[in-house]
């Protein structure tokens, strides 16, 4: 039987998570000296400016089935304009999205942690928003292009400024073309053939962070 409350809570949770994620990417890039996103109107909490057509369809599918992912329109950034250099700057911008999701998760998890007397529907909504934001943060921190974790890792390596970190960074750049295909394969493998490599990495972290937020 179709769970309309679960669908609405899931859809709103995904929409909010994508919205704050892309907004923080745009805002931090602007703060670091690149106005590209601001010129394109992306520094906004209006979800309409961040929605990607295919990503929105996938978001609805994920909300209906509990499987799959949605995504927003990538925020355009010119790394050459960023303070601290292109790779370190992009590392900071990349981290901003997952960090925003964790802040959002903490904000919606706080009433649940405090035992606030909420109606059942509202409690479900807050819990879904918390869980979805934690999941999106953890997923995006996987160090595989085009996810944010790859940019964060490259930023960390660039800040170390040693021959070993430089060689490792150059080696990782070979993943930039194959990374999206590998990620897509891992998602499909986990959902349809039971080879859930991503789940084995993500599930313990999502559980740990969710319990931390809820005080369990």
pLDDT digits (tens, 9 = 90+) for 144-161: 888 999 999 999 999 987
72 has which bridge partners?
51
**Three-class SS state of 193:** coil
Residues in the chain: 216
Please indicate whether residue 108 or residue 175 has the higher confidence score (pLDDT): 108
Give the domain extent around 64.
Answer: 4-214
pLDDT of residue 67: 57
Which residue bears the tokens 């962070």?
209
Residue pair 208/134 in contact (Cβ under 8 Å)? The answer is: no
pLDDT(191) > 80: no
How far is the C-alpha of 81 from the C-alpha of 3, rounded, in Å? 47
Write out pLDDT tens, residues 37-82. Answer: 999 999 999 989 998 877 777 666 665 555 556 678 899 999 999 9
Backbone angles phi, psi at 51, to 5 degrees: -80, 135
pLDDT(180) > 60: yes
pLDDT(29) > 60: yes
51 has which bridge partners?
72
Number of domains in the chain: 1
> Widest CA span of the chain, in angstroms?
58
Residue pair 203/134 in contact (Cβ under 8 Å)? The answer is: no
Instruction: With cut-offs at 50, 70 and 90, classify the pLDDT of residue 103.
Output: very high
Nearest to 130 by CA among 14, 4, 8, 5: 14
Range 1-6 average pLDDT: 72
């Amino acid at each position: 039987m179709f769970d309309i409350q679960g669908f609405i809570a899931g859809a709103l949770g995904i929409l909010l998570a994508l919205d704050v994620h892309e907004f923080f990417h745009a805002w931090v890039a602007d703060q670091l000296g690149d106005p590209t996103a601001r010129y394109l109107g992306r520094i906004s909490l209006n979800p309409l400016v961040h929605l990607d057509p295919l990503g929105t369809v996938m978001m609805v599918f994920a909300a209906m089935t509990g499987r799959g992912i949605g995504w927003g329109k990538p925020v355009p950034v010119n790394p050459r304009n960023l303070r601290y250099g292109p790779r370190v700057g992009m590392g900071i911008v990349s981290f901003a999205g997952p960090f925003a999701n964790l802040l959002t998760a903490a904000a919606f998890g706080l009433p649940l942690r405090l035992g606030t007397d909420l109606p059942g529907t509202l409690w479900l909504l807050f819990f879904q928003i918390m869980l979805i934001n934690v999941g999106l943060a953890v997923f995006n921190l996987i160090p595989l292009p085009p996810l944010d974790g790859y940019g964060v890792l490259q930023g960390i390596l660039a800040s170390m400024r040693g021959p070993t970190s430089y060689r490792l960074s150059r080696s990782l750049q070979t993943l930039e073309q194959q990374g999206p295909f590998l990620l897509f394969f891992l998602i499909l493998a986990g959902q349809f053939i039971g080879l859930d490599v991503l789940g084995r990495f993500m599930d313990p972290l999502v559980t740990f962070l969710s319990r931390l937020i809820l005080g369990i």
